[in-house]
Amino acid sequence: MAKITQIKGRKILDSRGDYTIEVDVYSDDGTMGRASIPSGASTGRYEAFKLTDIDQVIANIGNLEVALVGQEITDQEKIDLLMINSDGTANKSKLGGNTILAISLAVCEAAAKSEKIPLYKYIARIYGVSENNFRMPIPMFNIINGGKHADNNLPFQEFMIIPMGQKTIHERVFEGDKVFKELKAIIKKMGLSTSVGDEGGFAPRLNSNEEALELLKMAITNAGYVPKQDMGIGIDVAASSIPDLSPITYPLSPIDYYKKISTKYPVVLIEDGLSEDDWANWELITQTLGSQVKIIGDDLFTTNSQRLQMGIDRKAANGIIIKPDQIGTLTETFKTIKLAKQAGYTVIISHRSGETESTFIADLSVGVGAEFIKTGAPDRGERVAKYNQLLRIEEELM
């Protein structure tokens, strides 16, 4: 079995021009795996600690290298546990979750190369999915950006379109791109800016969240699709980043407001509609709307199996956003995904707003059989890279 011979860290730029970490892991059979770590603008309180001093991250990688050189490259769980134990804290605050995850993902890619199989197939192997049972995720295109992802006045963070029905990735990407272009034409006709936000979606100054939903509905129709039947809408409220939802939803309560817009518009998914610690209302929104709309937790769960178990016990939400950098290792990411699937929760693999050109999450979404992938608009290179990788994987599987 191939063994780790060297681990090398370097400072690179993410899509916002901020420094982040990239790691190369080398093995004695000549293979090399590479990973780079994104970061979020709106982060959950319970995420793994992110070390922002990248020089210190590189130093920490050097210290971990001593413990990891000589380990078998395919022993993902053992390597991850060694790093977790070396850190010794609950939230990886000693070494940094980004430090540990960069090595964890690079090890996975190096192992796939060593085994001479595509990354998504290797992920499926170590996760436990049959290679005869691959499914392609449904993309969620964030085509209007607001909140912390854009310099505009929209309180809600993401307004997404979701191609519905039994379709290929190629068909879904084509449809998403077509609606995206229709939306651009509509915004231009309104005399508004078509500049884009962090995740590639347009960031016009609109009068309300409902105006954004109206524009999406219009773009879907103009593209020749039937709202909800052919193309649904998803929203990411990012409620934990909003000091007070009441003025936004007035005169309705937040839950009644979500009920109203999911009736008026083809809304099929609501993410982080409530604050990350508002368990009582998470239970209520799931009970009230969960049979009609996917109620998704991101900041609520932070890819943490303990937080997810709390949600399962309370019947809070019926879906989860999976972001490996929220928890810090691939092994722990797998654990949370498995728990979610066992409980019948929808699994959505997600990017971050400060992304890199890495396509790992595309392979991850296929490898674990996720229902959805969220990786921005069909615009900006770091977003399109993930969609293009999904197109390649689908071509290989057909």
Give CA–CA dist 172/62, Å, rounded.
43
Contact yes or no for 296/269 (Cβ under 8 A): yes
Q: Which of 187, 194, 196, 207 is nearest to 158 (CA)?
A: 196
CB contact at 8 A, 73 and 126: no
Nearest by Cα to 323 from 15, 123, 39? 39
Alpha-carbon distance of 371 to 349, in angstroms, equals: 8
In degrees and rounded to multiples of 5, residue 165 shows phi and psi of 85, 180
Residue 18, token pair as written in the block: 């901020």
- Write out the catalytic residue numbers: 199, 323
- Respond yes or no on whether the N-terminal peptide bond of residue 38 is cis (omega within 30° of 0): no
Using CA of residue 308, residue 311, residue 313, residue 318, what is the dihedral sign?
negative
**Kind plus residue range of the DSSP H or E element containing 188:** helix 169-189
DSSP tag of 365: H
Dist. CA 163–CA 398, nearest whole Å: 20
Amino acid code (one letter) for 186: I
Asked whether the beta carbons of 348 and 376 are under 8 A apart, the reply is no
Place of tokens 């996917």: 294
Between helix 305-314 and helix 330-342 the angle, nearest 10°, is: 10
> Taking a C-beta distance cutoff of 8 angstroms, is the pair 298, 272 a contact?
yes
Please give the structure tokens belonging to residue 343.
């409980």
**How many CA atoms within 13 Å lie on the side-chain side of 125?**
15
Kindly state the tokens that stand for 39: 């970061």
Kindly give the pairing relationship between strand 346-350 and strand 372-374: parallel
